[in-house]
Chains A and B, each alone.
Chain A
Amino acid sequence: MANILICDDEKDIVNALKIYLNDPDYVLYEAHNGKEAVDIVRDNEIHLVLMDIMMPVMDGIEAMSQIRGFSNVPIILLTAKSEDADKVLGLNVGADDYITKPFSPLEVCARVKSQLRRFLSLGAGARKTSVVLTIGGLELDYDARTVTLDGENISLTKKEFDILKLLMENPNRVFSPKEIYREVWHEDPMGADNTVAVHIRHLREKTEINPAEPRYIKVVFGQGYKIQKGN
């Protein structure tokens, strides 16, 4: 059982989201401005907040910073503001995820599931015994050579695993395609080779809910690839 708060001043959007998230495992709360949202999170045990930014009375950014004062519940911002600066602001103030409107309903459901799984499994305090690399919801097990995303196993090829391991061992460092090739294939790349680019794309399709807006494996265009740790 998970308690989800949906907060948007547009009632139609709240209703649509309620239909999509209609699941016996979820209990849905609704709010129509930031103030209501803060009150509901304070008075109830909420496991996830889906919140708009532009709302009357109190906006989403303000509400989020208030909630962060007393709770570390996962917050997904759901907003029409699609500028990079807005995303950076939202994530810096404490959002766990950022979805721009108009959104695809399937993506919203997937992201809600992922955040909940992560939050609830972390809350259970489940710890692995073997050596594990963790970045966000991504966990890489050296011994078992397995990778889990929000607690769910994902199957990777050997090269994909090696690339992910390389990136996760050096978070925030940008690797050029040539460097990755040398590290993983242990030989020099021949001319115009987009092998690495293709592998990265596949890797991204497996680890990201929306590969066009990746959370972990970022493309630094003209330079290479990196894994983002923290905001």
Chain B
Amino acid sequence: MKDFFKTFFGKGLLYAAVLISSIVLALSVLGAVYMIYSNYYIQSEEYIREEQIETMVRGSSANAFYSTFETMTGKFAVNETSDYGNFVFRIKDADGNVMVNSSTAAQQYPYKIYLTVLPPHQGDSGDEYTISSISMNKSYAESILADNYYAKLYIVEGAINPNLEYVDGYRLFLGFHHFLYSIKISIYIIGVLAFIAMIVAFIALMSVAGKRPKKEEIVPWYFHKVPFDIITGVLIFLVAFSCMVIDDTRNPLAAGLSLIWAFFVPLYFMSFAVRVKTHTLIKNTVTFMILNLLWKGVKLVGKFLWTVITNMKLLWKVILVFAGLMFFWLISIAIHDQSWDAFLVLATPFTVFPLLILITLQINKIKKGAQELAEGHFDHVVETKWMLPELKKHAVNLNSMAAAQKIALEEKLKSERMKTELITNVSHDIKTPLTSIINYADLISKEESTSEKTKEYSEVLIRQSVRLKRLLEDLVEASKASTGNLEVDLQPCDAQVFVTQSAGEYEEKFKQYNLSLITNVPEQSIRILADGRRMQRIFDNLLNNACKYSLPGTRVYVDLTETDKDAVFTFKNTSKEQLNMSEEELMERFTRGDSSRNTEGSGLGLSIAGTLAELQNGKLRLTTDGDLFKATLSMPKIKDGEGK
């Protein structure tokens, strides 16, 4: 069904439906309007018919008089009665003599008109008879007779042949009148139905426009490829033309012919629909093509100019701007027009100053960006959105520098982290076999059958394995501390407590090594910000070192003093070996008091202690004086009111 309407025939049907329904609609509207104006809804059918027939008959009566009265002679000449169709009449003079009778049949003549005729030289027409007045009113004609002695009265009596033998205006009118009156209500229903039919057919026509049976895509007909504004123009011209023709001519045929365009209005809408469907409504117009061409030209020129400007050196751009300004000034001198001068005087500050301010602001922005970069804030990005092209280049370069630095920094941190992770994982993996080594060495030493020598050897195994374990732990700790992978939780602490606590813990151990520990702590308390666990590690490392490397029988001193800013812990001991290395060397990783590396320890102890001190904003310094080894740990004090 749908496909049927897509065929040429189907479309034709729809097209015809649109046309017919719109004609019916137009006629019903016209009819309704006519009937309203002609009182169809107020008067009875007969009354209206009488009224109209009377008008028509009077007109016909006058015509009949003109056609039968010969103005040259003042006599009446009778034509063929058939010429008058269903109209019958007779002409009488003032005395009631019948001058002309168009019908032989006897009948009633209900309509009368009165004419007065003047003889030659008495009226306007020189030597011919003149018809001086026509009226429906007998008294009016008699008043003319009274005024003019020469005037003669004629009466035309008209009627309609009741048989209506001829097909003429009367018969048509009577039929039309009857028909119209009979549909005076239903005409509205007809109008509404016609309107609905027109809308439905119109929508259907629009939807099938451009479609072909069994095809999804739109196939525009050649007509739909003609630029739309041309078609529109032609249509508007035709409408205007027909308006002109109707206005000028009385010829209904010419007027009718000039309305032929109306039959093509649906086609126009179809074309509109097809163009909307193929998205060519605007594109396929001459106007659009011309504008498009113009736009392309402008773009080409603009592109060319842009290329020239962007490839120009900054210096040349400045020169160009100056040349332009000079040119305007020269013109102003040449024109020497006051208003132009005023314009230039005003225009210069209003354009140059904002530009200068803009440039200054943007240079400031770039300066700030460079400053941030210099201070190592690589997160700062210079906003380049509204920058002038030359400055923008600079800003973009700054931004990419910052980005590159940031990436490098992140990479470095990442690789440090990975290094620490690797060391941690390796140390875990080493600890498992180490456990077995220690356990089985211990088992060997406990076996009853083992000899003393084997026992001794297995103890060496255990000792060295335990050392290996500590080495691993130190390695992990050192790597973490040096990459900043260690959390530091700074709390307010009492500096004296560090000394008394560690003295208590190490008292026994110092006794074992035949050393005595002397502590000197001031009476009043010194508050410092420190992470207890990290501090414990520093004290452990320093005091263990003192145990391992001190000459037996000597004293080890731990003193606490304070300076303006710091609490200073001093660890002093006498080395049993000669200290033949510098302070810097001592702090390095894997350095130990003895080069032979035979004693326990990893050589990481001092290095770890130093890094941990730095993580807590403190500092560890080593000094040697002969065999005296001195470690000074300074930790920042809490100022009054801080850290509470």
Contacts and interface: CB of A to CB of B under 8 A. Distances in A.
A108 to B, nearest CB: 9
Given A198-B507, A222-B532, A177 B501 contact: yes
Contacts of A23: none
Interface string B526-537: 001010110110
Contact of A222 (B436, B440, B494): B494
A224 B491 CA distance: 13
A101 B440 contact: no
A194 interface: yes
Contacts of B442: 105
B428 A81 contact: yes
Given A102-B466, A197-B505, A221-B533, A192 B499 contact: yes
Interface in B69-105: none
Nearest to B560: A192
B439 A16 contact: yes
Interface string A180-222: 0000000000011111111111000000000000000001111
A192 B520 contact: yes
Interface in B105-138: none
Given A197-B500, A222-B494, A101 B521 contact: no
Given A16-B439, A192-B499, A194-B519, A223 B533 contact: no
A2 interface: no
A133 interface: no
B438 interface: yes
Contacts of A105: 439, 442
B255 interface: no
A148 interface: no
A173 B501 CA distance: 17
Interface string B503-514: 111011000000
A176 interface: yes
A130 to B, nearest CB: 32
B523 A191 contact: yes
A74 to B, nearest CB: 21
Interface in A45-83: 54, 80-83
Nearest to A53: B428
A18 to B, nearest CB: 11
Given A221-B498, A222-B498, A102 B428 contact: no
B500 A193 contact: yes
Nearest to B466: A102
B501 A219 contact: yes
Interface in B457-497: 465-466, 469, 473, 491, 493-497
State the majority secondary structure of interface residues on B. Answer: helix
B249 interface: no
Contact of B500 (A13, A101, A192, A220): A192
Interface in A67-111: 80-84, 101-105
Interface string B413-434: 0000000000010011101101
B497 A222 contact: yes
A102 B435 contact: yes
A192 B519 CA distance: 7
Nearest to B480: A83
A10 B435 CA distance: 10
A12 interface: yes
Contacts of A54: 428
A102 B469 contact: yes
B440 A16 contact: yes
Contacts of B502: 197
A19 interface: yes
Contacts of B469: 102
B507 A194 contact: yes
Interface string A1-41: 00000000010110011011000000000000000000000
A117 B497 CA distance: 37
A223 B491 contact: yes
B494 A101 contact: no
B326 interface: no
Nearest to A83: B424
B521 A191 contact: yes
Interface string B178-201: 000000000000000000000000
Nearest to B558: A192
Task: Give the contact-size bracket for chain A.
Answer: 35 or more
B465 A102 contact: yes
Contacts, number: 115
Contacts of B523: 191
Nearest to A52: B432
Contacts of A13: 432, 435-436, 439
A223 B441 CA distance: 41
Instruction: Choose among A194, A200, A201, A222 the residue with the greatest number of B CB atoms under 10 Å from its CB.
Output: A222
A222 B497 CA distance: 5
Contact of A221 (B427, B435, B440, B535): B535
Contact of A10 (B432, B493, B499, B505): B432
Nearest to B536: A221
B325 interface: no
Contact of A201 (B428, B432, B495, B504): B504
B465 to A, nearest CB: 7
Nearest to A177: B500
A196 B507 CA distance: 12
Contacts of A17: 439
A176 B465 contact: no
Contacts of A80: 427-429, 431-432, 435
A101 B508 contact: no
B494 A176 contact: yes
Contact of A220 (B440, B520, B532): B532
Contact of B497 (A20, A199, A223): A223
Given A102-B435, A103-B435, A201-B505, A192 B494 contact: no
Nearest to B500: A194
A13 B437 CA distance: 9
A101 B473 contact: no
B294 interface: no
B408 interface: no
B443 interface: yes
Contacts of A101: 431-432, 434-435
A86 B425 CA distance: 13
Contacts of B443: 16, 19
B287 to A, nearest CB: 76
Contacts of B466: 102
Nearest to B430: A80
A193 B465 CA distance: 38
Contacts of A200: 504
Contacts of A220: 532
A102 B442 CA distance: 12
Nearest to A86: B428
Given A192-B519, A194-B519, A224 B497 contact: yes
A32 to B, nearest CB: 13
Instruction: Choose among A13, A194, A196 the residue with the greatest number of B CB atoms under 10 Å from its CB.
Output: A194
Interface of A: 10, 12-13, 16-17, 19-20, 54, 80-84, 101-105, 176-177, 191-201, 219-224
14 contacts: A13-B432, A20-B439, A80-B432, A103-B435, A105-B439, A177-B501, A193-B500, A195-B504, A197-B500, A198-B507, A219-B501, A221-B493, A221-B533, A223-B497
> 10 smallest A-B Cβ distances: which pairs?
A197-B504, A222-B493, A192-B521, A80-B431, A221-B532, A16-B439, A221-B536, A102-B435, A194-B503, A12-B436
Interface of B: 424, 427-429, 431-432, 434-440, 442-443, 465-466, 469, 473, 491, 493-505, 507-508, 519-521, 523, 528, 530, 532-533, 535-536, 539
Given A192-B496, A192-B519, A222-B535, 10 more contacts: A16-B436, A80-B428, A81-B428, A177-B497, A196-B504, A197-B503, A200-B504, A221-B536, A222-B501, A223-B497
